[in-house]
A and B are shown apart, each in its own frame.
Chain A
Amino acid sequence: MRLSVILLFLFTLFTNGQNTAIGTNEKLTYTASYNMSGILTDIAQVTMQTSSIKTSKATLLRLKCNAATYSKWDNFFKIRDLYESYVNPKTLTPYLYNRDINEGGYYKAMKYTFSHKTKTVKSVQTKKNNNVENKTISIGYGTKDIVTTLYHIRLFDYESMINGDRKSFTIIFDRAETKAQITYLGKETISTALGKKTCYKLAIGSSSNVLQGNNNNLLWLTDDANKILVYAKFKIPVGNGELKIKSASGLRN
């Protein structure tokens, strides 16, 4: 009996944080809507895609997210954003992160090269007119970029969590570390474009002002082995909106 408990504990230690949810050819497409005077208006399409990247030394996982406004908005406020991260496919440890945003004429690019041995991130920020700025930032253990974090929350074992349980993590965004946490709020069945799905309902919060309120930013992850994000509600300083899944393909399980 004691041996089986020890074995179970070791198994839990070994499997915790290992990628069993994210495949190498996964594509999730979402519609982002913004609340205007109480009416939700579809603004943009968000795509989250994974692919395998081979270098001469290793095989990595590329996590790519892009956001593009629907054509009807392009003449008013055109958004073409690209976020990507190159990570260890087993543990989702990030090595390289790229952010290239083009929002209504505002351009900014950011590159992070992670050095986990020295716990530093070399950043290169490029703005309009090729204004380049280099900076090295010290990071803590387990700090991840925003894209990796979005995928990493899918690796948590929610089955073993009870309502109110929290998981904390650190995100590096705009060359600064931000503490964030997710709170497990139980299971909920919701209607999605993929059919009715039983989901883990999570509240996400951060120490910065990006996400407003305590339980205003909510995520719904399917309670299957893939734990894909099917619905999200967010409240940011400029308003609130939601993210709804449109399609999913190439799922791992």
Chain B
Amino acid sequence: MKRLLTVLALAASILSIVLAVLPVSNLAIIPAIGALLFGLTAFYLSKKAGQVKKIIQFTFLLTSIAITISIYKSIFDKTEVTDTQELIKKENETKEEAIEELESLDLDELEIDDLKIE
């Protein structure tokens, strides 16, 4: 039982670290909670048996690092759009092409010759 909980705590803490460094850092909180629960239970059982393994403390360390990264990113990371030059260029190109295309259309057919925006 102790071993199983320790393995689960380790797996959950590694998962939380991986998620914390990815853009989905806010998801790291879910395995982090799991890692803490498994780790604390394993720690309690180990202490009762009189021998606490270092690996349990290591999972606590990993989990706390994951939570710190996740909180830091949620506070300081900016949600902004960058690298839009290509999109802007594309917008201008399609606009020019569209105007040419619209010029070549039969506007009588479109019945818009008297249109003006109010």
Measured CA separation A221–B82 after assembly (Å): 29
- Known A-B contacts A66-B91, A88-B115, A116-B109; A96 and B81 likewise in contact (beta carbons under 8 Å): no
- For residue B24, CB closer than 8 A to chain A, the reply is yes
B109 near A55 (CB under 8 angstroms)?
no
Measured CA separation A100–B97 after assembly (Å): 13
B105 near A95 (CB under 8 angstroms)?
yes
B102 near A86 (CB under 8 angstroms)?
yes
**For chain A residues 183-200, which have a beta carbon within 8 Å of chain B?**
none
B115 near A37 (CB under 8 angstroms)?
no
Query: What bracket does the count of chain A residues touching chain B fall in?
Result: 35 or more
A82 near B115 (CB under 8 angstroms)?
no
B103 near A36 (CB under 8 angstroms)?
no
Measured CA separation A90–B118 after assembly (Å): 8
Measured CA separation A36–B27 after assembly (Å): 8
A60 near B81 (CB under 8 angstroms)?
no
Measured CA separation A229–B99 after assembly (Å): 28
Measured CA separation A104–B82 after assembly (Å): 16
**Smallest beta-carbon distance A15→chain B, Å:** 13
Closest to A47 in B: B81
Measured CA separation A71–B78 after assembly (Å): 9
Main secondary structure of the interface of A (DSSP, over half): strand
**Which among A73-81, A128-136, A172-180 touches the partner chain?**
A73-81
**Which among A6-14, A38-46, A163-171 touches the partner chain?**
A38-46
Closest to A77 in B: B23
A24 near B117 (CB under 8 angstroms)?
yes
Measured CA separation A126–B27 after assembly (Å): 38
Measured CA separation A64–B82 after assembly (Å): 19
- For residue B110, CB closer than 8 A to chain A, the reply is yes
A55 near B102 (CB under 8 angstroms)?
yes
**For chain B residues 68-108, which have a beta carbon within 8 Å of chain A?**
77, 79-84, 86-87, 90-91, 94-95, 98-99, 101-103, 105, 107
B79 near A42 (CB under 8 angstroms)?
yes
Q: Which of A39, A56, A64, A80 contacts B86 (CB 8 A)?
A: A80
A69 near B81 (CB under 8 angstroms)?
yes
- For residue B116, CB closer than 8 A to chain A, the reply is yes
Closest to B86 in A: A80
Of A31, A58, A89, A98, most B-chain CB atoms within 10 Å:
A58
Measured CA separation A95–B110 after assembly (Å): 8
Known: A95-B105, A113-B101. 12 other contacts (CB 8 A): A55-B102, A58-B107, A58-B115, A59-B117, A60-B102, A60-B112, A72-B79, A82-B87, A86-B98, A98-B94, A98-B98, A100-B94
- Please, could you name 11 A-B residue pairs with CB atoms under 8 Å apart, sorted by A? A36-B27, A45-B81, A53-B98, A59-B117, A60-B115, A62-B95, A68-B81, A70-B80, A71-B82, A80-B86, A100-B90
